[in-house]
Amino acid sequence: MRLRALFEGRWGYFFIAPAYIFFALFTLYPLLDGLRLSLFDAGLAHQTWVGLENYARLLTDEAFRQAVGNTLHFVVIVVPLTVIISLGLSLLIFPLNSVWQSIFRGAFYLPTVASGVVLAMVWLWIYNPTYGLLNYLLGLIGVSSRAWLGEVRWALPALSVVVISWSLGRPIILFLAGLAGIPQEINEAASIDGAGSWQRLVQITLPLLRPTTMFVLVTQTIGAFQTFIVVQLLTRGGPAYSTQTVVYSIYETAFQFFEFGYSATMGIALLLISGAVAFMQFKLMQSDIQY
């Protein structure tokens, strides 16, 4: 019976085959090959089996520990602010008519589809310590200029602002869709019963948005763990390794030092760390989700 059912659905498998083939070739195979490569001392022209030596080396690598700490710090800054800001903007946009909603959707989503390299170059000009827009505006109110990307204290927060600026579009689209899916009869009934705007937001809107919030939170966390472009173009891990992230360490190890086996080990470690964080987010929010 099961074989017959599979045969009857053969056209469905035919139409989804292209997507699965691309997934297998460009996601699944590289993942499995990276796992295999992490067990080798691999360079440009050699591969030597070392077993778990790369993982043992990773546990004692101070530079990697700092990269993990920087990445976690970056995630803690970027993800909550992205969720809060995008949710707040969605709540402001949602009451508008469909035309204005479309305009704001397009405006906030445009940086998401624009080139990250172009956006990073724009922010490099904004942060320029000599003629940058930010220091110019701060100078108008008497605040002295500073090298935002050249000081250990400010470099990572400055990169966080860059990533937040182009990460708001997709969460806003999702939150607006979630708000549209909330039955208006519930809010109308609560309003008749005397509930104010704040009470309706806290008691009705936010609880019913929890599935959307969880999805945004998890996807933004995974994306923040994979941040690379801004580090590569704006700071290259500096100053004093204060913006050295795990993905940038993987890039350096593979394409500057040509230690492909060790860089694959870092990639597996990043997969486990981001997976563990996403799993904890699921467990923490799953019991509170209301469908």
Output the pLDDT for position 215. Answer: 93
Q: Is 99 part of any domain?
A: yes
Share of the chain above pLDDT 90, in %: 69
Q: Is 41 part of any domain?
A: no
Output the pLDDT for position 113. Answer: 83
Output the pLDDT for position 239. Answer: 92
Number of domains forming the structure of the chain: 1
Are the CB atoms for 228 and 249 separated by under 8 Å? no
H or E element in which residue 271 lies:
helix 260-286
pTM for the predicted model, two decimal places: 0.89
- The burial class, CB within 10 Å (0-12 / 13-18 / 19+), for 221 is buried
Instruction: Say how far apart CA 167 and CA 174 lie, in whole Å.
Output: 12
Q: Is 40 part of any domain?
A: no
The domain that holds 100 is classified in CATH as 1.10.3720.10
Q: Is 221 part of any domain?
A: yes
Instruction: Say how far apart CA 39 and CA 3 lie, in whole Å.
Output: 39
Are the CB atoms for 265 and 58 separated by under 8 Å? yes
Q: Is 28 part of any domain?
A: no
Single-letter code of the amino acid located at 44: L
Q: Is 49 part of any domain?
A: no
The residue segments making up the domain with residue 219 are 54-286
Q: How confident is the model at residue 291 (pLDDT cuts 50, 70, 90)?
A: very low
Mean pLDDT of 77-91: 96
Instruction: Specify the range with the lowest mean pLDDT, choosing from 85-99, 157-171, 177-191, 257-271.
Output: 177-191
Output the pLDDT for position 288. Answer: 52
Residue 151 is given by DSSP the state: S
Q: What is the pLDDT of residues 144-166, one digit of tens each?
A: 888 999 999 999 999 999 999 99
Q: What is the pLDDT of residues 222-278, one digit of tens each?
A: 999 999 999 999 999 989 999 999 999 999 999 999 999 999 999 999 999 999 998
Output the pLDDT for position 182. Answer: 87
In the block, residue with structure tokens 């796992």: 35
Q: Is 151 part of any domain?
A: yes
Mean pLDDT of 195-213: 88
Q: Is 253 part of any domain?
A: yes
Contacts for 236 with CB less than 8 Å, ≥ 6 apart: 248
